[in-house]
Amino acid sequence: MPLTVAIASDHAGFALKSEVIAELKKLGHEALELGPTDTSPVDYPDYAVKVAAAVTQGQAALGILVCGTGTGMSITANKVHGIRAALCRTEFEARMARGHNDANVLCLGQRVTGAGLAAEIVKAFLATSFEGGRHAGRVEKIRQVEAKR
Question: Where in the sequence numbering do the catalytic residues fall?
Answer: 67, 100
Contact 75, 43 (CB under 8 A): no
Eight-class DSSP state of 11:
G
Nearest Cα residue to 122 out of 101, 105, 142: 105
Give the Cα separation of 18 and 117 in Å (integer): 14
Phi, psi of 61 (to 5 degrees): -75, -35
78 to 38, 53, 83, 123, 148: CA distances (angstroms): 25, 11, 6, 22, 14
